[in-house]
Chains A and B, each alone.
Chain A
Amino acid sequence: MRKEVTRLALLATMWATTSVYAADGVTTGPHGEKPTPAASVTLTAAEETQIKDGKFTAALVWHEMSEYTNAVNNGAQDEFKRLGIEVVAQTDAGFDAARQKADVETVLAKNPSIIVSLPVDPATAAVVYDPARTAGTKLAFVDNSPAGYVHGKDYVTIVSDDLFQMGNKAAIAMAHALGNKGKIGYIYHDADFYVTNQRDGAFKATIGQDYPDMQIVAEAGMADPARSEEIAQGMITQNPDLDGIYVTWAEPALSVLSSLRGAGNTHTKIVTLDLNEPAALDMVKGGNVAALVADEAYNIGVTVARAAAGSLVGKSSQPFLVVDSLAVTKDTVADGWKKSLNKDVPATIADALK
């Protein structure tokens, strides 16, 4: 009973945070902002010179380090370097809001002109960033901004994925892999986290609206990626005839993959989000993985750095900037890697493609 109440409460939360896109099919910002393409952020030659002459500095205060954060981090570092802005510190909060607060306090000792950050817990993040705001540091965010902060006054912009597009492209890729019909398992992120909630919701909504011959017959929430193998086992045991499984992101998808392999299942297709080498290798070798939907993570870093730099010379940015996403399949894996992470496809995959 309690579990049921919990589920309903969670669904209500998800609905509340994701209801807008369902009506019009676009990503909205965490506070209902309309999306603007990241390509709209540009600097004139004069502005770039002014920035270079300013001898500005920046600190990167991350929520946690992952392949995704690395790509964003590299994009921001490269753009700051191009603009003559020195990156004086970078931190990793290990998804702990208390540590992120300590990190902000620590980097402020170097008086950075800019802090680029992804808030661990947006609902309570105002306390985390207040010392920087008070110090007059320009704040530019990835994915979300602290509740109560006002765009243009307290922070420069939010740069994110086109979250609806990602979930939507995952659904289309799934339909393509299954020939537009079949039974689907749906493993979503069971937490109040705006990014994953929107992507998961968009997948589900697209299947429901656009593919009448495809049904989501099994759903499971995953709160802790370390537990995803058990969740996958349970789903596969109860529904051995699934044609496809959507997994909220790549790391837990590997657990699903290992469960399918363990069960000798070569039939069920996996579609998941984010590029991941083992998953991509399985895809290239014709395994269970059918598609990986990736955002242009490197471009998120470039955009957030450019917008923040522009704000130092009085240039304002739109409140919610989004980069494109792409569905990567066996045929497009090399291009996809370059577009998403600004890196060549890993050697193992390049070899398997030969």
Chain B
Amino acid sequence: MPSANTAASGRPNGFANRINLQQYVVYFGFLAIFLFFAIVLRDSGFLTVRNLSNIVLQTAPATIMAIGLVFVMSAGEIDLSIGSTVAVSALAAAVTMNDYGLVAGVLAGLGAGLLVGLLNGALVAYVKLPSFLVTLATLGLFAGVSRSMTDLRSIPVTNGTFTGFFGSGAFLGIPSLIWWTAIAVAIGHLIYRETRFGAHVLAVGDNSRAAGVSGISVPRIRLTVLMISGGLAGLAGLLYAGRLQAAKYTLGETDLMTVIAAVIVGGTLLNGGKGSIIGALVGSLMMGMLNNGLILMGLSVSDQMIVRGLIILAAVAVSLREKSR
């Protein structure tokens, strides 16, 4: 990785400076967009505590999914199935909870996510199929499963403990969705940066053959990252079900592209070897802030989509330039 070497050597040339800039592009981008909206929308409620906390709450499920995707992409893989895993998990939790209670419901939701991850992981790690194709197939497969599970009906979630814990409640005055985001980011970051597993994930993504030669079990890493992604998508499903007090097959359908954009803008390489959990968090908040600010600007829906697309394109272009190996 010449770029990393150049940056590490600290030579005071323009190239190194640009590398540093690229590493932090998500933070600069976040700040720039925030300042722009703060000025333009100063009288339109953007800066109210309520609106800003709404952004964090609304992006919580996407942020949690993004953490899983950082692990997967750092290992050089991709998980497209998260879009439908969310719905399957939310529905599994809702249906099970209505019949067997809170704990069974939560276990069913998380279990469904882990099972999807296990299936993806086994096919990628042991059958040696490319993750792009495997998860593209399971994306469709589980979209179908979630539709047929309840005949397209939405299932109400009435358990107050569940909805409080996963969606609409608060602890020490802080909404539960913010707790979930903070805990998931903290644990994710710790594992990613401070453990041997995290280092192995990056090694596999950087050069899987070299990682294998050095004694890392490459299949085990691939299986594990896809299970982490599935499990976190399952957790995102629980959060949606808690927030909406209902589960439906459409949950998460529109999140996939947002999550991928958040992760890439946040500094994770599409082809592995480098990533950032904190960057993904900021990337996800940036996406949420964009949605929020463009609506508050009073733009028509079409104009919102065009502007959002252009800003994401710019952010991805800056963060990806020179990074690809």
A contact residues around B253 at 8 Å (CB): 94, 96
- By beta carbon, the residue of chain B nearest A61 is B295
With contact pairs A88-B298, A92-B301, A192-B153 given, residues A109 and B246 touching in the complex (Cβ less than 8 Å): no
Contact B154 A106 (CB under 8 A): no
Q: How many residues of B contact A (CB 8 A)?
A: 36
Contact A124 B244 (CB under 8 A): yes
Q: Is B71 an interface residue (CB 8 A)?
A: no
Contact B243 A98 (CB under 8 A): yes
A contact residues around B254 at 8 Å (CB): 94, 96, 99
B contact residues around A102 at 8 Å (CB): 54, 58, 291
* Cβ proximity bits A106-150 to B, threshold 8 Å, 1 near / 0 not: 110111000000001101100110000000000000000000000
CA–CA, A65 and B246, complex, Å = 24
Q: Is A90 an interface residue (CB 8 A)?
A: yes
Question: How many A-B pairs with Cβ below 8 Å?
Answer: 97
Q: Is A20 an interface residue (CB 8 A)?
A: no
A contact residues around B54 at 8 Å (CB): 102, 105-106, 109
B contact residues around A106 at 8 Å (CB): 51, 54, 58, 291-292, 295-296
A contact residues around B301 at 8 Å (CB): 62, 65, 90-92
B contact residues around A223 at 8 Å (CB): 147, 152
Q: Is B44 an interface residue (CB 8 A)?
A: yes
Q: Is A15 an interface residue (CB 8 A)?
A: no
Contact B250 A191 (CB under 8 A): no
Contact B296 A98 (CB under 8 A): no
Contact pick for B51, options A88, A98, A109, A123, CB 8 Å: A109
Q: Is B160 an interface residue (CB 8 A)?
A: no
* Cβ proximity bits B103-142 to A, threshold 8 Å, 1 near / 0 not: 0000000000000000000000000000000000000000
Q: Is A26 an interface residue (CB 8 A)?
A: no
* Cβ proximity bits B28-70 to A, threshold 8 Å, 1 near / 0 not: 0000000000000000111010110010011001000000000
Q: Is A9 an interface residue (CB 8 A)?
A: yes
B98 to chain A, nearest CB (A): 14
Q: Is B251 an interface residue (CB 8 A)?
A: yes
A contact residues around B246 at 8 Å (CB): 97, 121, 123-124, 127
Most buried by A among B147, B154, B254, B295: B295
Contact A109 B154 (CB under 8 A): no
Interface residues of B, Cβ cutoff 8 Å to A: 44-46, 48, 50-51, 54, 57-58, 61, 147-148, 151-154, 156, 240, 243-246, 248, 250-251, 253-254, 291-292, 295-296, 298, 300-302, 304
